[in-house]
Amino acid sequence: MHLGVVDYGASNIHSVARALQSLGSKVSIVDTPDKFKSIDKLVFPGQGSMGSCIKKLNETEMINPLSDAIKSKPFLGICLGLQILFDSSEESKEKGLGVINGSITKIKDINKENLKIPHMGWNNVKIEKKHELFSGIEDKQFFYFVHSFVASNTETSITTTHYGEEFVSSLATENIFATQFHPEKSGEIGLKFLENFINWKI
């Protein structure tokens, strides 16, 4: 099993790579278009805005091989890696990859609960639908989040989390799984989740 972690030049990909390596996986950094071929499973950790991410993927000519891989290989998107799967985001003019219908919006109702943006820290993850990647993980466990924008109301939703509003903290469709939280920073439970991804058979 050969895992690839996409590096488009803006995100801290090393913590994801280190976490996967600590679980005994062979991990390669995918930073050029040709490196997608030899990869069995792909992880896309993202940071920053959708616009700058899409721009960088265009500049590095990785956008097409990435789109192809998302259609064919087990794929895990983390944080911005979840958001770019959607059609669009309030954050940027650039369109997302459009794999999932809908738009990413800024977290709402923060004033009502006197909440701070970004949503940063440990929050509960409520399991709405059973999925292999959550096997062995109990309902309402804490995962680590850092973000200001969210996905809501998608049929693909696997878990939800409350912060100002109910948002999608993870989703899945066929070979794609994506999380708003950072499993690589969520301690023991995060590692269990990543282990489930490594063992995930489609």
Partner 1 sequence: MSLAVRIIPCLDVRGGRVVKGINFKDIVDAGDPAEAAKRYDAEGADEICMLDIDASFEERSTTIETVKSIASQVFIPFTVGGGIKSLKDIDMLLKSGADKVSINTSAILNPDLIEEASKEYGAQCIVLAIDAKQDGEIWNVYTHGGKNKTELDAIEWAKKGQDLGAGEILMTSMDKDGTKSGFDNNLYMKLSNNLSIPVIASGGAGELSHLVDAVKLGKADALLAASIFHYEEISIKKVKQALQTEGFEVRL
Q: Which positions are annotated as active-site residues? A: 79, 182, 184
> Residues 53, 184, 195, 196: which binds partner 1 (CB under 8 A)?
184
Q: Which of residues 21-60 bind partner 1 (CB under 8 A)?
A: 21-22, 47-48
Minimum distance from CB of 142 to partner 1 (Å)? 4
* Choice from 152, 187, 198, 200 touching partner 1 (CB under 8 A): 187
Size, binding site for partner 1 by CB under 8 A: 30
Q: How many CB atoms lie within 10 A of CB 148?
A: 13
Is the distance from CB of 171 to CB of 158 less than 8 angstroms?
Answer: yes
Binding mask 130-169 for partner 1 (x = CB under 8 A): ------------x-x-x---------------xx------
**Residue whose structure tokens are 């899409």:** 54
Q: Cα dihedral angle (133, 9, 36, 104), rounded to 10 degrees?
A: 50
- For the beta carbon of residue 67, count every other beta carbon within 10 angstroms: 14
Tokens 């969210």 identify what position? 150
Handedness of CA 89, 103, 82, 98 (dihedral sign): negative
CB 197 within 8 A of CB 161: no
- Of 116, 130, 138, 201, which one interacts with partner 1 (CB under 8 A)? 116
Nearer Cβ to partner 1 (95/185): 185
Nearer to partner 1, 22 or 72 (CB): 22
CA angle 75, 38, 186 (to 5 degrees): 35
User: Binding marks (x or -) toward partner 1, 95..114, rule CB under 8 A?
Assistant: ------------------x-
If DSSP codes are grouped into helix, strand and coil, which group holds residue 187? Answer: helix
Residues that bind partner 1 (CB under 8 A): 12, 14-15, 18-19, 21-22, 47-48, 113, 115-116, 118-124, 142, 144, 146, 162-163, 184-187, 190-191
